[in-house]
Structure formats: structure tokens, C-alpha cells
Structure 1
């Protein structure tokens, strides 16, 4: 892989303690791997100041914020106005991550649904993409996303997509995007790769979800943005494309979905 080929890590968590004291080196390794942009995601608004500080320190880093569905029961509810106010920052480029997780936190399902609807409304108002976490809740997720879209259109990415083909189809039918993580590189993830292969390549993003889900040969260790190139290499194989062509396609997709980040880069 050539570092001259640009790629974007559309979803990572650079504020997590796994990276404390290492941001300079981390960003430099990402640059060397051809990673020219990263979106770091705030999952608890109590961590917002740190997330924003990282984005303000590094030119390549943008940020998004919301309440992760697994944190809904422990966090104060966020309002549409709260999220809309965050969008005034020039490097704030997405709403979330939000969503539904019935695998680990089914007991808070009703609160998760209410929080998801707040985030959807904020995406509608700001015209920033919604960033969705979905696990074990495919039917409810498809229904709520569809109901929201029918009320007022919005854009969305299904982050770290590893759900079933029905949710993939529901999201794609709404014009949404699927993001490929290290999961798609794991040997036992053929069903996930098949779902991606059936999707239009102009609806695909790549991400690390760092510090989680490191692709081989780093599996089982801490993930980081530079490794998104390894996931993109697997994505190229899945779509039967040259790495450079697949990377260019995902860059165009990111620019289309995260238009605020693309516009920020083009300033001046």
C-alpha cells in the first residue's frame, strides 16, 4: 500500500485512555499510512471537552458527539437543542454515535429509542449525518430510522456494520451508508463481507472504531487510525477493485456524506 493513496478513518475514539500521551505519534503513524482525516466520536457528553480539544489540536481530526445507546441509562438525556448547539463548531461534523444495543443493554431499550429519536431530529435540523450503532435490534432500528426519514429526510451512516442483510437493505433503501470496520477482515466474517459485496460501492465508508476491532495482523491488540488502510485493503478485495480505486471511492463517499468536513478542508 502506498502512503500516497489517501484514506479516511470515519470513526474512532481518540479520547479513550488507551491513547493517553500518544496522540502526536498516533497521528504521525496515521499520516504515514495515508490516513488524511479522522472523525473522533464522543460517546458521553461529559467527555466532550477532551474530544473537542483533540480535534482542535490536529488538523486532520474532526469530531462528532452523542450519547451511545449503552450509556443512555447512566447519562443525563441530551436535547435536540444541545446537539444543534454543538454543530456550531466548525469541526463538528456528525450527530452520534447513537442507536440501539439490545445485546448488552436490552433493559434500557425504551430509553434508547427515545434518545435515538432525539438524535434523528438533531440530524434533520443540522443536516449533519447521523452515526448509528446497532446491535441485536435490527427490526426496531429499521423501523425507527424509516419513520424518522419519512417525517423529514436526513443522512446517516451505519457505523461498524455487522448486522443482518435486512437492516443493510433498509438502510441502503433510505440512501444511507454502511461503514466497514475490522470485523469485515476477520476470517469468520464471510456473511458480513457478503452483505458489503452486495451493496453499491458508492455507499461504503471505512473505519477503525479504534481502540477496538483491530484487523489482522494486529487482531487482539489495540486498534489505531493507521490500521484503517488494512480494512480498506480487504474492502478492495471484497469489491474486486484495486486498492487505489477503492480508497478513492470511499474518499468520495466520505466527502459526500460528511460534507462539512470536506468544506472545512477546502476553506481558503
Structure 2
């Protein structure tokens, strides 16, 4: 069994066949999917997917791309919304200097607000970071110094230094289909060195479909293909990788019930 720790099932890409998409994932052994919030104002849509499907859980938060468009969240609002029984995390929040859609100071401030909510609730913060390694590391170190909080770097494509900082701070690192791409040898080298007990696997669907599905719309069923490459990188069997990453996901997203429990 695998857990897709990051997908966007509320996106319009899945609307015509959401039930079939989830069924295909289950047929390939994907036991759980976490659909990730990108707009606080659209949390009702994210929540509705999680409420409809027992296998699906969700997070609440604002993506850095939209941090200048949305009303600035308060810690109190995030904490209140996170009390929903199917909400198992905060975010995704963080920094994206590749596109720079939001002013950096705004994204940084909202990132810290999400950190405070994660610290208060004990729910993990799903962190999006791209081309912002130094500032992300600085904020993580500063905030961790104010009090520990659980978190993961999702869809990791950053440099080795940020990976090492995250691991030193107790974070998990999640790999997406990017790790299967032909030109991502540097990323496979980093994945090789990430301790198995701190590794997660995801799709980020509908984006970044792994090999051999590149060019297609990504979906949770394809997490199996990413996991297979990660197993090869780690020199273990696909079954071992599945067991380890599933245990890791359940430990980090501790609000999720065990796989044999009714969601």
C-alpha cells in the first residue's frame, strides 16, 4: 500500500471523473490520498472531496502563488478550519521565487503564519519552496528556534543544502514524479541520501506526471511509478519502499486513522 501525500483532487482537471480517478488509485494499491489546499477561500471545495471519499484527507492553507490574492489568513482561522475531522495538515504554504507571483515579503509573512498554526495545532505544515533555498532555510531555522513544529518539504527539487537543513530540523522530504525524469540525476542522488524513515512520496497531481506517463495529466495512481524509481535509488524493493513511506506518512499526518480503520 502507498499513500499519495500530495495531490489536488479539487482541481477542475478531475471534475469529469473524480470517482474513477480515485478508483484507479485504489486498484494500484494507493490506500490514501491527501488533497492539498491552495486557496483558503476555496477550502470548502477541498473539504467536500475529503468528505465524499473515505480514502481522501485534506489540508487547509494558501499557496505562495496566491498569497497576495487571498485575504491574509490569521492563525486563529487556520486553527479553526483545521479542526475538521478530515483535515490532517496545514498548507501548502512557503516561498516561490521562480514565478514570484506574490511579493516576497507577503509570501514570507504568510509562510510564518502557517508555521504558527502548525506549531499550535501539532498538524504538519506542507511546505512549497522553489528557487528560494536560502530564505526558506533561514525562516525554518528561525521559526524552529521559537518552538518545534512538524513539517515536510513537498515535491522536493531544491539543493542538497536545503535538504540537509530540513533533515537537521526534523522535517520530512517528499519526492514527486520529477525524481523519475531523465535529467534529474542530481535529485536522485539527494534522494539516495535522505534517510528512508524521513522520506515521503507524492504525485502533485494533476502536475508532473512521472515516467512513463510524462505529457499526460498526472493522477494519484501514478505515485506507484515514482515509488518504484525511489526504491531503485534506495536499493530496496518496491514493497519495502511502500511500507516505509506509508509508515512515515501515518506518523507525520498523525490525525489520519490507521489504514485498517474506517475513515
- TM-score of the superposition, structure 1-length normalised? 0.96
Q: State how far apart, in whole Å, the 2-side matches of 1:267 and 1:228 are.
A: 23
Specify which of 241, 253, 258 is matched with residue 258 of structure 1: 253
Give the secondary-structure state (helix, strand or coil) at the position aligned to 2:98.
helix
CA 1:195 to 1:97, structure 2 compared with 1: closer, same or farther past 3 Å?
A: same
- Give the superposition deviation at 1:46: 2.0
8 Å contact from structure 1 (residues 131, 156) kept in 2: yes
Equivalent of residue 46 in structure 2, options 28, 44, 51: 51
How many residues end up aligned between the 2 structures?
A: 263
Distance 2:5 2:194 in 1: 18
The CA deviation at 1:155 is: 0.8
What is aligned with 1:175? 170
Q: Is the 8 A contact 2:151 2:171 kept in 1?
A: yes
Aligned counterpart for 1:109 among listed residues 92, 104, 110: 104
Cα offsets for 1:200-222 (capped at 9, x unmatched): 01000000000000011110110
User: Which of 29, 35, 45 does residue 34 from structure 1 map onto?
Assistant: 29
CA drift of 1:73 comes to 1.3
Contact 1:80 1:121 survives alignment (8 Å)? yes
* Cα separation, partners in 2 of 1:261 and 1:140, compared to 1, 3 Å: same
Q: CA deviation at 1:47?
A: 1.5
Unpaired runs of at least 5, structure 1: 1-5
> Would you identify which runs of 4 or more consecutive aligned residues in structure 1 move more than 2 Å?
262-268
Task: Give 1:234's match in structure 2, choosing from 229, 232, 237.
Answer: 229
**Which residue, 85, 91, 94 being the options, matches 1:90?**
85
Question: Once superposed, what is the RMSD of the aligned Cα atoms?
Answer: 1.3
Superposition deviation, residue 256 in structure 1:
0.8
Match of 2:190 among 181, 192, 195: 195
**Structure 1 CA distance for aligned equivalents of residues 196 and 152 of structure 2:** 14
Aligned residue number for residue 124 of structure 1: 119
Q: Would you say the 8 A contact 2:60–2:82 is kept in 1?
A: no
What's the counterpart of residue 3 of structure 1?
Answer: none
Query: Structure 1 residues 85 and 20, CA, compared in 2 at 3 Å: closer, same or farther?
Result: same
Distance 2:133 2:124 in 1: 20
Query: Which moves more between the two structures, 103-112 or 149-158?
Result: 103-112
Q: TM-score, normalised by structure 2?
A: 0.97
Contact 2:65 2:102 in 1 (8 A): no
